């Protein structure tokens, strides 16, 4: 069965970076994009960007350009999302989700809570 | 911030039908038939309930249906049930090869 398993909760200080992993199983890793979506406490969903595991190509939302980096390791079917220059308003649950190029997300990771606090 | 506009809340009684609108622009909903809808219960990951404007994933009730006219997509839930109470989000593909979500709509089943 398809599964996306994310790394555990993180607490970081303002200005630091966080790197969240998402390990895929149950399907051909290079057949689908992985998108990143976050949700701040009590707020809605926010699309952050995608990575194409087949070739490592990426695209990100304008609000995150210059601060987000998405990479993949095809040997272990894992993608990573690193967010730098953390601020308190980056406190959120971060999800990875599987889909095609467009946001048709049929499987989601369990979410990773990232807390930014001094 | 959300680029697609949804009503903040809607409500209905069990058995009734409700519709949630999602308004975008010429370069997202208006251009592509790549609108999805997600249902999210508190503390849970979102669940895909409609994709490509009108299609339902296997296992999703046929009480959920989607449509689109111009720059506005809609989700209709018929025969409301208590378990439908949740947050609903629309999403679309955009001309810059990005994704975008609506702000979300809280559905209350009275």
Condensed to tens digits (0 to 9), the pLDDT of residues B30-53 reads 999 999 999 999 999 999 999 999
**Total residues found in chain B within this entry:** 110
**Which pLDDT tens digit goes with each residue over A45-60?**
999 999 999 999 999 9
Instruction: State residue B1's pLDDT score.
Output: 57
Interface of A with B in 93-112 (CB under 8 A): 95, 101-106, 108-111
* Paired sense of beta strands B47-50 and B35-40, if any: antiparallel
Nearest CA of chain B to the CA of A74: how many Å?
23
Q: Rounded CA gap, B91 and B100, in Å?
A: 5
- H helices of chain B, in order, are none
- Provide the residue-wise pLDDT of chain B in tens; the chain has 110 residues: 568 999 999 999 999 999 999 999 999 999 999 999 999 999 999 999 999 999 999 999 999 999 999 999 999 999 999 999 999 999 999 999 999 999 999 999 99
Q: Does A27 touch chain B (CB under 8 A)?
A: no
Residues 6+ apart with CB under 8 A from A31: A54
What is the per-residue DSSP string for chain A? --EEEE---EEE-TT--EEEEEEEESS-GGGSEEEEEEE-TT--EEEEEEEETTTTEEEE-GGGTTTEEEEEETTTTEEEEEE-S--GGG-EEEEEEEESSSS---EE---EEEEE--
Q: Rounded CA gap, A63 and B100, in Å?
A: 12
Instruction: State residue B16's pLDDT score.
Output: 97
Instruction: State residue B3's pLDDT score.
Output: 83
Q: Rounded CA gap, A34 and A22, in Å?
A: 9
Interface of B with A in 23-42 (CB under 8 A): 32, 34, 36, 38, 40
């Amino acid at each position: 069965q398809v599964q996306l398993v994310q790394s555990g909760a993180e607490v970081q200080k303002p200005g630091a970076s966080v790197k969240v992993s998402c390990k895929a199983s149950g399907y051909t890793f290079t057949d689908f994009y992985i998108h990143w979506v976050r949700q701040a406490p009590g707020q809605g969903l926010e699309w952050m960007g995608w990575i194409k595991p087949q070739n490592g190509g990426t695209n990100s939302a304008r609000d995150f350009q210059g601060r987000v980096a998405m990479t993949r390791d095809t040997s272990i079917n894992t993608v990573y999302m690193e967010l730098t220059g953390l601020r308190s308003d980056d406190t959120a649950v971060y999800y990875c989700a599987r889909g095609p190029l467009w946001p048709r997300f049929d499987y989601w990771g369990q979410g990773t809570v990232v807390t930014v606090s001094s | 911030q959300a680029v697609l506009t949804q009503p903040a809340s809607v409500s209905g009684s069990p058995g009734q039908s409700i519709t949630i609108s999602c308004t975008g622009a010429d370069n997202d909903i208006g251009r592509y038939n790549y609108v999805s809808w997600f249902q999210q219960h508190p503390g849970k990951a979102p669940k895909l309930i409609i994709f490509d404007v009108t299609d339902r994933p296997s296992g999703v009730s046929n009480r959920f249906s989607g449509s689109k006219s111009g720059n506005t997509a809609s989700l209709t839930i018929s025969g409301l049930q208590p378990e439908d109470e949740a947050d609903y989000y629309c999403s679309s593909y955009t001309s810059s090869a990005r994704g975008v979500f609506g702000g979300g709509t809280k559905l209350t089943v009275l």
